[in-house]
Amino acid sequence: MTLKKQSILVAGGGSTFTPGIIMMLLENLEIFPIRQIKFYDNDEERQKQIADAVEIVLKERAPEIEFLATTDPETAFTDIDFVMAHIRVGKYAMREQDEKIPLKYGVIGQETCGPGGISYGMRSIGGVLELIDYMEQYSPNAWMLNYSNPAAIVAEATRKLRPNSKIINICDMPVGIEHRMAEILGLKSRKEMTVRYYGLNHFGWWTDIRDKDGNDLMPAIKKHVAEHGYVTPGELEGTPGEDIEPSWMHTYGKAKETFALDPNTLPNTYLKYYLFPQDEAEKANPEYTRANEVMDHREKQVFSECNRIANIKTAEDAKLVTDDHASYIVDLARAIAYNTRERMLLIVPNNGAIANFDPTAMVEIPCIVGSNGPEMINQGEIPRFQKGLMEQQVAVEKLVVEAWEEESYQKLWQALTVSKIVPNARVARQILDDLIVANKGYWPELK
Ligand code: NAD
Ligand code: G6P
Ligand code: MN
């Protein structure tokens, strides 16, 4: 049977990840055929630089695919099967503020965790809801695959404020870590592993990892993580496969310390911000944070390469590389389009899947995905250590969404205070007052 060809909208066409996603889609056309790709962004000039290069790539490599880039919602969202959403409301300039303002008070500033993530959440909620509303107006049968951050807060907002919308929130961090686990084990692909996992986004644990024959792979991975974290054997030998930035190497190494807290499970790397916040704050340079690193490296590389391609009008020697990890997006789209019943980790309403946890929480757990969307796989009861941490963190995420909806200063102050990363309510208030000034025009006006 021939597969129906899909029409894709990339929302956040100007993202640094867009060229990698396009290259990844092109590599997967046989299993996920495409008739049309559109880009949508609210920054015309930024998007145009990426779009001009992608247009040349598509003309040379897949001329049958129709392509257009627009800032007009109706043109963008009409006749679409999947919206792949990766917007960053406020762009890197605001990410820099999210990271640097908390550091003024000795508190770690991070894209998705703690005060930085809360600040970004207050900007993202409105942006993502707007995309959903356009999608429902112009292509009511479409699905949105959202990886715009902070995914945990965005997911809670969509659960609460757009409960019937066809949106699935997903993260690539577990995929990236599983890729490393497969390397540690010497497996060809992470897909040889079947995992059990539970948590919130950027806040979870693997509890069981098996190969296709049911052999338990956890002991071998744990042995490695106890010594080296998720730094791979190749990296330890000094032959890294990819060009990994120092901040990420630190993160993979730090997983060793996080693992020590509960050797029954394997942790997500982001837990380091919650379990060792002072270490991270001390290590940070308040003048030069991850946003600066990304602006100096990824953003410069991607835009200069796109501009080069547009100038020479050919992509024959393009240095736009496929983002391997991003193929999870095709797995998800294929699962919905062709009912493949793929097993994947998604951010979904708990509804009892974690038996002893808030049924209204958005949790990250394995699901079977088919044309009707995800079916959650029960993870049973979780231990008190994880439950305690998750209850505190889910309260933060819910308070942020309530604060956004009710335009409530009080609730946002409470959210910051509950965050494990913020030392006390006074510091929470100082950070909040600075964030309000920095986010003028992006956040609702708080009462
Ligand atoms: P980026 O700033 O390069 O790109 C984001 C784009 O979104 C920009 O071109 C910007 O103009 C556009 N944009 C902002 N607000 C918009 C709006 N309201 N409507 C339409 N377009 C809008 O950022 P990036 O570093 O490439 O990251 C993009 C997003 O993907 C971020 O949210 C990032 O956190 C997320 N991300 C998520 C995962 C995951 O695992 N979930 C992985 C990687 C990146
Ligand atoms: C991982 C996370 C994403 C996050 C990204 C940050 O991939 O899963 O949610 O956006 O890291 O990467 P960056 O390179 O922008 O710091
Ligand atoms: Mn993520």
240 falls in which pLDDT band (50, 70, 90)?
A: low
- Structure confidence at residue 193 (pLDDT): 98
Token digits for 367?
Answer: 């699901």
Whose atoms come closest to the Cα of 121: which ligand? 1
The Å distance, Cα 409 to ligand 2 centre, comes to: 28
The Å distance, Cα 84 to ligand 3 centre, comes to: 15
Whose atoms come closest to the Cα of 297: which ligand? 2
- Give the separation between CA 218 and CA 215, rounded to whole angstroms: 9
Beta strand extents in 286-433 (DSSP E only): 342-349, 362-370, 373-376
Verify whether residue 270 is a known catalytic residue: yes
Nearest CA residue ID for atom 18, ligand 1: 127
Nearest CA residue ID for atom 1, ligand 1: 15
Q: C-alpha angle with apex 100: 98 to 101, nearest 5 degrees?
A: 75
Nearest CA residue ID for atom 6, ligand 2: 111
Q: How far from 434 is each of 97, 100, 278, CA to CA, in Å?
A: 10, 11, 21
Our measurement of the distance from residue 107's CA atom to the centroid of its chain's CA atoms, rounded to an integer in Å, reads 23
H and E: helices and strands count for the chain: 18, 12
Catalytic residue among 52, 133, 172, 208: 172
- Give the separation between CA 267 and CA 276, rounded to whole angstroms: 13
**245-268 pLDDT tens trace:** 888 999 999 999 999 999 999 999
Residue 354 forms beta bridges with which residues?
A: 380
The Å distance, Cα 173 to ligand 2 centre, comes to: 8
DSSP for 244-292 reads --HHHHHHHHHHHHHHHH-TTSEE-TTHHHHHSHHHHHHH-BTTB-HHH
**Residue 430 is which amino acid?**
Q
- Structure confidence at residue 325 (pLDDT): 77
pLDDT over 70 for what percent of the chain?
99
pLDDT over 90 for what percent of the chain?
95
Measured from the Cα of 325, ligand 2's closest atom is 7
The Å distance, Cα 342 to ligand 1 centre, comes to: 26
Pairing of strands 6-11, 82-85: parallel
Verify whether residue 434 is a known catalytic residue: no
* pLDDT of 303 above 80: yes
Nearest CA residue ID for atom 10, ligand 2: 149
**89-128 pLDDT tens trace:** 999 999 999 999 999 999 999 999 999 999 999 999 999 9
Q: Summarize the confidence of residues 209-231 as an average pLDDT.
A: 98
Nearest CA residue ID for atom 1, ligand 2: 173
**402-433 pLDDT tens trace:** 999 999 999 999 999 999 999 999 999 999 99
How many other CB atoms sit within 10 Å of the CB of residue 294? 18
The Å distance, Cα 248 to ligand 3 centre, comes to: 14
Nearest C-alpha neighbor of 5 from the set 86, 82, 84? 82
**340-364 pLDDT tens trace:** 999 999 999 999 999 999 999 999 9
ipTM field: 0.99
322 falls in which pLDDT band (50, 70, 90)?
A: confident
CB within 8 A of 440, min separation 6: which ones? none
Q: Enumerate residues lining ligand 1, CB below 6 A.
A: 11-12, 14-17, 41-43, 46-47, 86-89, 91-92, 127, 147-149, 151, 171-173
- Give the separation between CA 155 and CA 18, rounded to whole angstroms: 22
Catalytic residue among 198, 252, 270, 274: 270
* pLDDT of 243 above 80: no
CB within 8 A of 182, min separation 6: which ones? 188, 189, 190, 192, 193
Q: Summarize the confidence of residues 143-167 as an average pLDDT.
A: 98
